Amino acid sequence: MTFMSFLATGEAAASALTTRKERHAVGRRLRENAKRSSQAEWNPALRRADPIALLIAQGERRIASLLPIRYERMAASPLAFLRGAAAVMAADLSVTTAAGLRVQSCGDSHLANFGSFASSDGIPVFDINDFDETSVAPFEWDIKRLGTSLVLAGRENDLGDGACRALAVSAAEAYQHELQRLNRMTPLQAWSEKVDLLATIDAIEKKSVRERVRGILEARLESASGNFGLVTTESKGPSLREKPPLIVRLPDHDDAIRAAFGRYLAAQPAERAVLLARYRLKDVIFKVVGVGSVGTFCAIGLFANADGETLLLQIKEAQDSVLAPYAGRSGYANAGERVVTGQRVMQVTPDRFLGWTHTNEAGKSDAAGREFYVRRVKDARLAQIGTVMQQDELPFYAALCGRTLARAHVRSADVAMLTGYIGKGGVFADAIAGFSVAYAGQSEADWRAFKDALKGGRLVAG
């Protein structure tokens, strides 16, 4: 389902035709068929798909030589496994309770896919920062994946059972309260709301953590102006620097990726084409990316002008969303368009260089016939400010992610219906926490089976 076809559905169109009070009442009535307490249920189906088989099938469209790196990363912990196993959880979520309220879903909303980045005007914001799996889907799927990742993170940090459960409660309560706050706004006000990172840091109670995070933010914003250490000027002009084994040259794929960049440039609207015409593609290098994406094609293009001034764009392969078999295919001709549209819908300040492209079907490279999206290279170290908060202020970070997810959902959701269904009490948050604890146990069991598959040779790690 494309986002435009989603807007054409009765649920999405109703917000302009009925009052908040009327839509709130519709949301309350949804509890009759989807009790909020039933959101806690996780009962593995007798015919539950084999998680290892799902991962093997997903790997068939990826670069075979990189899969061992992916599996090695997933083997590190149950949380690392969850991060790489979005396809497994999507299959499991498809049989859980859903109220019937669909949103533009992140599709992979674990705690590490929230983070900080500089907006186009240089202002640091906090938001969801990964949209590879985005699609229209039940709103519950994102909050349940977030809650599960928080429980697993708490266990990694040696928190007790009660404290781990409280993290999921905190995220769900923050989600609930933010929905209520946004529901009191006009649609335009709610659409424009963003999470100010500086204000967020100021809200951290522990002074030592607050000062450390602010210091890291300032240093990393400054490093962004230096191209993140990826560019060298040691030769005749600027070029990209290899950092083996994760950032390397793959000459056999250069031509295919350069041609894909060319198609991206040719498809830009006039106002962006004017800017991009001032640069030329000078160099390409390939990059191994995060746990869930390892094995997909990802490259960085160095664009420069005659004065040596540079622009770094990343081209990343887009495949079908893991949600597609259960929530429906996106309907976009290019999976890159699905990713770009989802990001533009969910983020308040999306990258101005977002676009999509493809490689030629007839090419000789393994990259032939693949679809991509393009964005400006973001500073991974800036994004990892969230990691600092995860380590030192996990309860604070849990609430921040819940609040951020609600803000992202409201841009596509009928917020009055959502608030009507969720309500003001603790039933929904308690149920999400119950599911999160139960599914964290499932993820731990799947992780152990995954490690057995590595030992037995069914999968091969690096």
Q: What is the pLDDT of residues 137-152, one digit of tens each?
A: 999 999 999 999 999 9
Instruction: Please count the helices (runs of H) and the strands (runs of E) in the chain.
Output: 21, 13
| Confidence band, pLDDT 50/70/90 cuts, at residue 379 | low
Q: Tell me what pLDDT residue 251 has.
A: 87
Question: CA angle 75-81-86, nearest 5°?
Answer: 145
**pLDDT, tens only, 401-427:** 999 999 999 999 999 999 999 999 999
Q: Tell me what pLDDT residue 294 has.
A: 81
pLDDT reading at 341 higher than 60? yes
Taking only Cα atoms into account, the Rg of the chain, rounded to an integer number of angstroms, comes to 22
| Confidence band, pLDDT 50/70/90 cuts, at residue 244 | confident
Q: Tell me what pLDDT residue 295 has.
A: 78
What contacts 51, CB < 8 A, 6 or more positions away?
Answer: 85, 88, 446, 449, 450
Q: Which of 197-206, 364-373, 435-444 has the highest mean pLDDT?
A: 435-444
**Count of CB atoms within 10 A of residue 209's CB?**
17
CB 357 within 8 A of CB 340: no
pLDDT reading at 388 higher than 90? no
* Mean local confidence (pLDDT), 34-52: 93
Of the candidates 221, 230, 331, the one whose C-alpha atom is nearest the C-alpha of residue 287 is 230
Of the candidates 128, 57, 117, 121, the one whose C-alpha atom is nearest the C-alpha of residue 91 is 57
Q: Tell me what pLDDT residue 214 has.
A: 82
Q: Tell me what pLDDT residue 46 has.
A: 75
**pLDDT, tens only, 143-179:** 999 999 999 999 999 999 999 999 999 999 999 999 9
Amino acid letter for position 358: H
Is pTM beyond 0.95? Reply is: no
**Count of CB atoms within 10 A of residue 80's CB?**
18
CB 155 within 8 A of CB 413: no
Burial class of residue 90 (count of CB atoms within 10 Å of its CB; 0-12, 13-18, 19+): buried
Q: Tell me what pLDDT residue 217 has.
A: 76
* Mean local confidence (pLDDT), 89-117: 95
The C-alpha atoms of residue 266 and residue 269 are separated, in whole angstroms, by 9
Q: Name the token pair of 414.
A: 């009928």
Residue indicated by tokens 């497994």 = 88
Q: Which of 4-8, 63-67, 88-92 has the highest mean pLDDT?
A: 88-92
Q: Tell me what pLDDT residue 227 has.
A: 64
The C-alpha atoms of residue 79 and residue 146 are separated, in whole angstroms, by 11
In the predicted model, what is the mean pLDDT of the chain? 90
DSSP 292: G
pLDDT reading at 6 higher than 70? no
Alpha carbon of 13 to those of 16, 24, 173, 222: distances in Å? 6, 15, 27, 44
Q: Name the token pair of 193.
A: 């709301």
The C-alpha atoms of residue 360 and residue 253 are separated, in whole angstroms, by 12
Q: Tell me what pLDDT residue 14 has.
A: 64
pLDDT reading at 345 higher than 90? yes
* Mean local confidence (pLDDT), 251-276: 94
pLDDT reading at 381 higher than 60? no
CB 133 within 8 A of CB 87: no
**pLDDT, tens only, 422-462:** 999 999 999 999 999 999 999 999 999 999 999 999 998 76
pLDDT reading at 12 higher than 60? no
Q: Tell me what pLDDT residue 116 has.
A: 81
The helix or strand, by DSSP H or E, that contains position 284, with its residue range, turns out to be strand 280-287
The DSSP string of 21-88 is HHHHHHHHHGGGTS-GGGGG-----TTPPPHHHHHHHHHTTS-GGGHHHHHHHHTT-HHHHHHH-HHH
* Mean local confidence (pLDDT), 68-83: 95
Q: Name the token pair of 213.
A: 């995070």
The C-alpha atoms of residue 262 and residue 4 are separated, in whole angstroms, by 27
